[in-house]
Amino acid sequence: MVRVILETIPDSTIFQINREENTKADELSKLVQNTSDLSSSVYFEELGAPSTDRPGVLCVSSPDNWMTPYIAYLKDGTLPEDQNKARYLKYKTARFFLENDQLYRRTFSAPTLKCVDRDEADYCLREVHEGICGDHLAAKALAYKVIRQGYYWPTIHANAVAYVKKCSKCQKFNNVPKQIPSLPGSVLSPVPFAVWGIDIMGPSPGRRGICIMCWWRSII
């Protein structure tokens, strides 16, 4: 097994060291048998009790996110002090429910959606957009595909637009409109005042804004 591992290490060489030239390693190998015959160069410490009797506990507090007010109201009935915010929270919470301390959102035309925070939202966008099954969708299609996968957060559409704008492949290979611009054509009307039009020009020199001219065409 050692030879197999050494083959993966470049420029490795095995040397044989005689026992009289490696006395310290020989003394360490006898440490578990007899400690009275060890020389003063070997230091050791005896533990009276195992060091793993008291396992350490690390308390991690999760930061507040957009789900915190909903979870607090559904679990404990906690509402904001502002009456308008409290009324809005009651109205919005009607579509949410808790299951095993996880917030979910009810929908009409889609399955129940799991609510996620910012970090999980970025992971969902990345996997759906360019993951193993991703196809670099546009922003609107990307947001709806994430919803169909069963995930939700309030700013999903805005985050999808921002994510697509930062995707280099979408910017390089996105479809570019290739329609040739054409000159405006004449407008025909069957009766007088049947067609009205507006020409918008601007900004006009020396003045901010645009200039609007109304015109009408008729056939006499």
Over residues 96-108, the pLDDT tens digits come to: 999 988 999 998 8
Q: Residue 162: inside a domain, yes or no? A: yes
Q: What is the pLDDT of residue 216?
A: 46
Q: Residue 19: inside a domain, yes or no? A: no
Q: Are residues 120 and 154 in the same domain?
A: yes
The CA distances from residue 101 to 69, 70, 154, 155, 168, in Å, are 13, 11, 19, 22, 38
Q: What is the pLDDT of residue 2?
A: 75
Q: Are residues 123 and 81 in the same domain?
A: no
Query: 30 by DSSP, 3-state: which?
Result: coil
- Structural domain ending residue among the three candidates 103, 130, 162: 103
Q: What is the pLDDT of residue 218?
A: 40
- Provide the domain count of the chain: 3
Q: What is the pLDDT of residue 175?
A: 73
Q: Are residues 196 and 145 in the same domain?
A: no
CA distance 106 to 42: 68
Q: Which residues of the chain have pLDDT under 70?
A: 28, 30-44, 51-62, 177-178, 184, 187, 197-220
Q: Measuring CA to CA, which residue among 215, 166, 161, 168 is closest to residue 187?
A: 215
Q: Are residues 160 and 119 in the same domain?
A: yes
Q: Residue 52: inside a domain, yes or no? A: no
Q: Residue 17: inside a domain, yes or no? A: no
Q: Are residues 154 and 204 in the same domain?
A: no
Contacts of 127 (CB under 8 A, 6+ apart): 134
- Structural domain ending residue among the three candidates 77, 103, 129: 103
Q: Residue 72: inside a domain, yes or no? A: yes
The CA distances from residue 4 to 13, 191, 217, in Å, are 13, 95, 91
Query: 83 by DSSP, 3-state: which?
Result: helix
- Domain, as residue range, for 120: 113-173
Q: Are residues 91 and 140 in the same domain?
A: no
Q: What is the pLDDT of residue 62?
A: 60
Q: Are residues 117 and 169 in the same domain?
A: yes
Q: Residue 216: inside a domain, yes or no? A: yes
Q: Residue 26: inside a domain, yes or no? A: no
In the numeric block, the tokens 């004449």 are attached to 186
